[in-house]
Structure 1
Amino acid sequence: MPGRKWTVDEKMNIVLEGMVPGANISEVCRQHGVAQSLYYKWRDAFLAGGRAGLQSGPSTREQELEKQLQEAMSKIGEQAMEIDVLRKNRTGAGSKQPFLGCSARQGRVSGPSDCESIGAESNLLL
């Protein structure tokens, strides 16, 4: 037979009732139909959560997000350098034709005729 599902508010109220000075944990558990071992699990989780809320400094989640942000910024920097190298190699290798593109962001185009076919202006990307 599965046990009863307790809401967060019910658990918190039972834990707080047991934390009142002079409270008899056995009696509190009996009144609410909760095993003492379960009460102590709830109490420990409640206190651990309270400690986490009182900690100063960034949380673990904030630290993880900061790490992801730094990795993304690093990747963007690497890609920007690669783009610069490719542009320099494209124009610096004796190529007479600069890279042509469209100002419209509609699919891939390779030259002015492609730009005209989608109704966009061509421009030079150096």
Structure 2
Amino acid sequence: MPKKKPSDDDALALVLSDLKGEVPVSDLCRKYRVSTATYYKLRDHFIAGEVQGLQNNGKTNQVKALELRIKNLERALGRKPLEVEVLKKRKISSLTNFSSRF
């Protein structure tokens, strides 16, 4: 039986099936047509990813960067109405000063 690299979905199903503990690893490997060495690599990769997710409160670095960008953009957007108001007052003031000259 030729061995193959499983798809991401199959790899996840394989690891989760083993973690449930209902079927021996050898049977799972046979079902998904992977070697036991491949299974253990997949399992270790899966567990390492889960630990990293827990350490980051389930957020990847990309998600954290995007949240920071959103926060900065919201802060900048919040300043815009104030800037518009200041510019309007300056415009009115400059128009008043200009018209009083004539």
Alpha carbons of structure 1 residues 86 and 58: separation in structure 2 relative to 1, 3 Å:
farther
Tell me the equivalent position of 2:83.
82
Matches of 1:58 and 1:5 in 2, distance apart?
A: 25
Q: Which amino acid is 2:34 matched to?
A: V
Give how far 1:4 is off.
5.8
1:31-53 CA distance string (max 9 Å, x none) = 2421344323311232134332x
Find out whether 1:66 has 2:49 as its counterpart: no
Q: Cα deviation per residue 1:4-29 (whole Å; 9 max; x = unaligned)?
A: 65362x32343355564xx5x6x457
TM-aligned CA distance change 1:18 to 1:66, over 3 Å: closer
Number of aligned positions between the proteins: 89
| 1:43-100 C-alpha deviation (Å, 9 max, x unpaired) | 1232134332x45746232x3343123211221134233312321221011255xxxx
- CA contact under 8 A between 1:15 and 1:42: conserved in structure 2? yes
Q: Distance in 2 between matches of 1:30 and 1:70?
A: 46
Report % sequence identity: 24
Which structure 1 residue ranges, 5 or more long, are not aligned?
A: 97-126
Cα 1:35–1:85 shift into 2, 3 Å: same
Structure 1 pair 78/30, CA: closer, same or farther in 2 (3 Å)? closer
Greater RCO, CA 8 A, separation 6+: 2
Structure label with greater radius of gyration? 1
1 or 2, which has the higher strand percentage?
1
TM-score (norm 1): 0.47
For residues 78 and 17 of structure 1, the distance between their equivalents in structure 2, rounded to whole angstroms, comes to: 52
- Report the RMSD for the aligned CA atoms in angstroms: 3.6
Alignment partner, residue 33 of structure 1: 33
- Equivalent in the alignment of 2:93: 92
